[in-house]
Amino acid sequence: MPLELVTLRCLKDNYAYLLHGDEGTVLIDAPEAAPILRELAARGWSLSAILLTHHHSDHVDGVAEIVQTTGAMVIGAAADAHRLPPLDLRITPGEPLEVLGEPVQIIDVSGHTVGHVAFHFPQSGYAFTADSLMAMGCGRLFEGTAEMMWDSLSRLNALPADTLICSGHDYCAGNGAFALSVDPENPALRDRLDAVQRAEQPCAPATLAQERETNPFLRVAALRPGLGMEDAPDAQVFARLRAMKDAF
């Protein structure tokens, strides 16, 4: 059985995630403490660990209070340790990690920030991608380059199609509007946006298969002709799309 997944809205448009199984409960990212602590108390769950994807305040500001309340250990990237909250375990992409009895793949998804990691739980079929691959979009390039982000998205795009992509924000309205502006004849995109607007499905999480059908940053091959970039490398097409989104 897959680990139980609980999606929590925090701050204005952030997502945090609880994973629960026979061996306990862990949290992925901690934008703020109050809603997370309320959910843990309501379910009677004891938190054992917090996994951090990157250093931005809207992903880590709740850590201190949650640790003080629960005693949870904090896990994050060794490369980012100097600007993350104090870490009990420093991890490196590619090294083995086990969480709640499952092996976890640590994936370098630098681009939004340098040192950003994603956590893939292959047995349960979850990937916690935060501000790398997002619902119908990807994170803005604050620290890394377009080439770095394209490599990161390509690594995530190689995961199984049924992987549930658990991203860090609900930017559905803006991402969806941009996606329609560059991919207006995409019926899967229109169907997804209609379902989200009717509240028949959440903006996130969504399967990688859905992202492949509707996310312009995973559809560079299909969008290349419309951009007049038939002979351009994928990373260059991605860079154009990212620049267009920044100005959208």
116 is in an annotated binding site: no
Identify the structural domains of the chain with CATH numbers, from first to last.
Answer: 4-247 (3.60.15.10)
pLDDT in tens, 197-233: 887 677 889 999 999 999 999 999 999 999 999 999 9
Q: Say which residues have a Cβ less than 8 Å from residue 136's Cβ, sequence separation at least 6.
A: 171, 172, 175, 176, 179, 189, 192, 211, 214, 215, 216
Predicted confidence at residue 173, as pLDDT, reads 87
**Sign of the four-CA dihedral 129, 134, 54, 49:** negative
56 is in an annotated binding site: yes
Predicted confidence at residue 15, as pLDDT, reads 96
Note the pTM of the prediction, 2 decimals.
0.96
Predicted confidence at residue 202, as pLDDT, reads 77
Q: Say which residues have a Cβ less than 8 Å from residue 164's Cβ, sequence separation at least 6.
A: 5, 125, 126, 127, 205, 206, 207, 208
120 is in an annotated binding site: no
Q: In the numeric block, which tokens belong to residue 88? A: 């009990």
Predicted confidence at residue 24, as pLDDT, reads 97
59 is in an annotated binding site: yes
- Residue pointed to by tokens 């607007």: 197
Reduce the DSSP state of residue 145 to 3 states and report it. Answer: coil
Predicted confidence at residue 238, as pLDDT, reads 97
pLDDT in tens, 38-59: 999 999 999 999 999 999 999 9
The answer to whether the beta carbons of residues 135 and 171 sit under 8 Å apart is yes
- Average pLDDT score over residue span 56-84: 97
Predicted confidence at residue 35, as pLDDT, reads 97
